[in-house]
Structure 1
Amino acid sequence: MASVVVVGGGAAGLSVAYYLQQAAPQLQITLLEATARLGGKITTVAEHGFVLEGGPDAVVRYKPWALELMQKLGLENRIVGTKPAHPSALIHDGREARPIPAGLQMVIPGDLWALARTPLLSPFGKARALLDLLLPQGTPEDEPFGAFIERRLGRQVWERLVAPLSGGIYGGDPYELSTLAAFPQLKALEEQHGSLIRGAIRQRRARGSREKGQLFASLEGGLGTLVEAIQARLSRIEIRLNTPVTALERTGGWRIHTPQGSLQADALVLATPARTAGELLKPLHPEAAAALRQIPYGASSTVTFAFAKEQLPPRVGHGMLMAAQQGFSVRGFTWIDQKWPGRAPEGYGLVRAYFSGLEASKEELARLALHDLARLWGRAPEPLHTWVFHWPEGLPRYTVGHRERVSQALRAQELPGLFLAGAAYHGVGLPEVIRMGQEVAERVLAFAGKPTGAETALS
């Protein structure tokens, strides 16, 4: 009987383990997790009648892989959408909060009338954005995302619209992102239509506007429900918590060393941060290991406050994003009680701040979040409860050269029976990570000898 060891119990590792067991129940699968819990950054807290997320708080509906997994797990009746709100979110331009213009395709204006009317941009900023319709097409080479947007649409569109919308997706400074790695669809708009706005308008006509339906989804009780449902299905898998991997050996198959002893496996899945995988693979594939260690990560943090609602000023929609270069520490706020049903008791408000790329103590993060709330509201009331989550290397940063680094890093899979999975490679969102977990499971099965019926189980 073939054996597989999956290292890492976050979303990627859990997805690999789940799809492997579903397709090939006779496989001997062991899941090793270095910490005391599964789920990675999926961290749902239920305390004092509040339900909040320390990490991701939603999945996007137009990337179906997370919702498909929820349905496979029997959670379709627990999928919830956001509460109705119009506008759903605002962007604070440094002076006041203004609605996000309608008709966006990803982060690009796809409605000329909405672009003309938005107070986010000055008349000069709107005129500069419209030059995109006349500018020559750029070269196909990669470039920093901020430089790409400024070249096509101007600095105002970058600072007041695109940077706030894109800044919460990847760790660190969104200006430095690789356009080809992080937003290849936008590079394709320029190549195919000669203009981002022209391409967004045509795309919107073909697809319709996302304002017509809910963009985000979650689960009753939070995304931790997904982790619990997967774990409940892994009945035939040995799960070892508090078990970091200290070294790897090639012994015909794989020998995996841990502080609690060694394991032998035919196939090995490293669903860990890239740097961890790089350290483990340094003796076995130095070139790939060096590329893995070169994938940068940025800090990510969330601070959630519970307030008495009577002490809060009126809040619009689901939250607020902050324009770049305006002196805010936070990237944005979510009014959780207004975004999701059932997250706060009657008479209470729940506010979440999100930080990216900021290294600070938990006490300092809470202080900075309250300071920015006071700037928005004139004063910040005393919170009844505070929850702070900080990950020093929370999110991979897809900076320029990312695709080349990933191509080199994935050469580690030249080692027979080795597979890599996780957010460091082809997408940081929960749906993309789940999709990669499913794809890796398919390749593990092909390596181990896919049993009859496995294609159906994985589809």
Structure 2
Amino acid sequence: MAHLVVIGGGAAGLSAAYHARQAAPDLQITLLEAENRLGGKILTVAEQGFVLEGGPDAVVRYKPWALELMCELGLEAEIVSTTPARPAALIHSGGRALPIPAGLQMVVPGDLRALAQSPLLSPLGKARALLDLFIPKRPQGDEAFGAFIERRLGRQVWERLVAPLTGGIYGGDPYELSTQAAFPQLVALEQQHGSLIRGAIAQRKARGNREAGQLFASLEGGLGRLVQALEARLIAVDIRLGTQVRGIERSKGWLIHTSAEWIQADAIVLATPAGVSGELLANLHPEAARALKAIPYSSSTTVSLAFDKAQLPPRVGHGILMSLGQGFSTRGFTWSDQKWTGRAPEGFGLVRAYFSGVEASPDELVKLALHDLERLWGRVPKPLQSWVFHWPLGLPRYTVGHQERLAQALSAETLPGLFLAGAAYHGVGLPEVIRMGRSTAQRAIAFLLSKSLESEPEDLQKPRAQA
């Protein structure tokens, strides 16, 4: 019987193991995870009536792969949307918090009336943004994302609108992102329409509005329910938690060295962070290993704070984001009790702060979050409880040159039976990672099937005559 080993039990590894099991019920599958739990950065904690998300708290609806998996796992009745809110979120410009303009497509204004009426931009900033309608497109080529937006829409749109919206997606400095790797849709808008705004208007007409908080979805008990449902479907998979992989070798397939034993495999799915995968491949494919280790990561942290709701000031929508260069430590806040129903007991408010690239102790992070809230509110009541979730390898960053690094990294798949999956390659969002786990499982199964056919006697490979 063929043996597939999945290394890494985060979203990509779980998706790969699940889809491999669905496609090949008789396949021997082993899943190795270094931590003592599955799910990676999907971590939901239910405590004293609070439902806390340590990592992602939602999936976007227009990328269907996570929702499709939830439905396939029987979770359809548990899927929830964010509570209706208009505006759904604000951006703090440094002086005050202002609504995000309606009609955005990704991060580009797709409604000229809403852009004209938005107080987030000055009249000069709006006029500069409209020059996008007349600026000629450039030949395709990689470009820093901040430079791309400033070239098309101006610095003010970058600092007050686009950077706050994208800074929490990839972490680190959003200016340094590769536009081609992180936002290929925007490159396509420029090339196809000659203007980002013109392309966004066309997209909006085709798709309709995504306003009033219906862009995001989750599960009633938090995204941890997805991990639980996947684990329940992997009963026939040999799941080994707390198992650190120390090396892999080629030998009649693959040999995987853990702290306890050697495991023989016919195929491997490496669903570990890029640097970890690079270390494991250092002796097998040095060029790919160097490229994998060159993919940068930024740490991320979420701090959740519980308050007496009666002591909180009025909060608008689902949360607030911060403009660049305004002295805030946080990237933004989510009003979790207002964004989702059932996340806090009656009479309590639940606020979640998001940090990227900030290294500090849990107590210091709580103080930083409270300091920023004090700037927003003027006075902050004492939190009744706090929870801090820190991810040293929070998010891979698709900086300029990512596509070249990616091509070199994926050259590791020239090793027969080796497949890569994870957020470092084709998208950091949960839907993209789930999609990549599925496609990687399909390629692994195709490889094992072809290997099985090659090993059959020639007469067994011939088509059987019909009875």
Counterpart residue identity of residue 385, structure 1: Q
Pair 207,15 (structure 1): closer, same or farther in 2 beyond 3 Å: same
Instruction: Report how far residue 139 of structure 1 moved.
Output: 2.6
Q: What is the Cα deviation at residue 366 of structure 1?
A: 1.1
Instruction: Name the counterpart of 2:457.
Output: none
Q: Deviations over 1:290-314 (max 9, x none)?
A: 0000000001110000000011000
CA offsets 1:107-126 (integer angstroms, 9 cap, x no match): 00001100000000001100
Superposition map of 1:42-121 within 5 A:
42-121=42-121
> Distance between the aligned counterparts of 2:154 and 2:394, measured in 1?
30
Q: Which moved further from structure 2: 406-415 or 198-207?
A: 198-207
Which residue does 1:271 correspond to in 2?
271
* Partner SS for 1:372: helix
- Partner of residue 304, structure 2: 304
Where does residue 184 of structure 2 map in the other structure?
184
- Paired with 2:55 and 2:113, the residues of 1 have a C-alpha distance of 36
Question: Would the alpha carbon gap of residues 347 and 213 (structure 1) be closer, same or farther in structure 2, given more than 3 Å must change?
Answer: closer
Residue 194 of structure 1 aligns to which amino acid in structure 2? G
Check the 8 A contact 1:190/1:196 in 2, yes or no. Answer: yes
- Between structure 1 and structure 2, the one with the greater Rg is 2
Asked if 1 retains the 8 angstrom alpha-carbon contact of 2:88 and 2:213, the reply is: no
CA contact (8 A) 2:304 2:388 kept: yes
| 2:169 match: secondary structure | coil
- Distance across 2 between alignment mates of 1:112 and 1:220: 36
Matched, 1:440 2:447: no
One-letter identity of the residue aligned with 1:223: L
For 2:429 and 2:440, locate their aligned partners in 1 and report how far apart those are by CA, in whole Å: 17
CA distance in 1, matches of 2:364, 2:402: 32
Q: Residues 387-430 of structure 1: CA distance to partner in whole angstroms, max 9, x if unpaired?
A: 00111221000000001101100000111100000000000000
Residue 142 (1) aligns with residue 142 (2): yes
Instruction: Name the CA distance, whole Å, in 2 between partners of 1:377 and 1:24.
Output: 56
Is this contact kept in 2: 1:11–1:434, CA < 8 A? yes
The C-alpha deviation readout for 1:322-344, integer Å capped at 9, x for no partner, is 11111111011000000001110
1:331 touches 1:356 (CA, 8 Å); kept in 2?
A: yes
Contact 1:173/1:357, CA 8 A, preserved across alignment:
no
Residues 84, 212 of structure 2: 8 Å contact kept: no
SS in 1 for 2:19: helix
Who is 1:214 aligned against? 214
Post-superposition shift, 1:212? 6.3
CA distance in 1, matches of 2:211, 2:309: 28
Provide the rounded CA distance (Å) in 1 between the counterparts of 2:108 and 2:389: 31
CA distance in 2, matches of 1:405, 1:275: 12
Q: Residue 425 of structure 2 corresponds to which residue in structure 1?
A: 425
| Root mean square deviation of aligned Cα | 1.1
SS of the equivalent of 2:245 reads coil
The CA distance in 2 between the partners of 1:281 and 1:87, in whole Å, is 48
Separation in structure 2 between the aligned mates of residue 358 and residue 141 of structure 1, nearest angstrom: 32
Give the 5 Å matches for 1:194-213. Answer: 194-211=194-211
SS across alignment from 1:260: coil
Q: Give the deviation of 1:98 after TM superposition.
A: 0.4
TM-score (norm 1): 0.97
SS in 2 for 1:69: helix
Q: Which stretch shows the higher mean deviation, 363-372 or 442-451?
A: 442-451
Q: Given the superposition, is the C-alpha separation of residues 213 and 311 from structure 1 closer, same or farther in structure 2, using an over 3 Å criterion?
A: closer
Q: Which runs of 4+ in 1 moved over 3 A?
A: none
Match of 2:123 in 1: 123
Partner of 2:404: 404
Deviation at 1:183? 0.3
Kindly indicate whether the alpha-carbon contact (under 8 Å) linking 2:81 and 2:218 is maintained by their aligned counterparts in 1: yes
- CA–CA separation in structure 1 for the residues paired with 2:356 and 2:199: 30
- 1:340-359 matched pairs, under 5 angstroms: 340-359=340-359
Instruction: Quote the Cα distance in structure 1 between the aligned partners of 2:420 and 2:254.
Output: 14
Give the secondary-structure state (helix, strand or coil) at the position aligned to 1:214.
coil
Q: Which runs of 5+ in 1 are unaligned?
A: 453-459
Q: Give unmatched runs, 5+ long, in structure 2.
A: 454-467
The CA deviation at 1:213 is 6.8
SS, match of residue 168 in structure 1:
helix
Task: Letter of the 2:178 partner, please give it.
Answer: S
Q: Does the 8 Å CA contact 2:33/2:243 hold for their aligned counterparts?
A: yes
Q: How far apart are the structure 1 equivalents of 2:305 and 2:131?
A: 43
**In the alignment, what sits opposite 1:456?**
none
AA aligned opposite 1:127: A
Q: Counterpart in 2 of 1:325?
A: 325
| TM-score after normalising by structure 2 | 0.96
Partner of residue 225, structure 1: 225
What whole-Å deviation, never above 9, does each CA across 1:65-108 have from its counterpart, x for those lacking one?
00000000000000011111111100010011100000100000
* Aligned mates of 2:99, 2:105 — CA distance in 1: 16
**Residue by residue, what CA displacement relative to the aligned partner does 1:252-282 show, whole Å, maximum 9, x if unpaired?**
2100000111100000110000000000000
Match of 1:436, as an amino acid?
M
* Per-residue deviation, 1:23: 1.1
Shift of 1:229: 0.3
Q: Which residue is 1:11 aligned to? A: 11
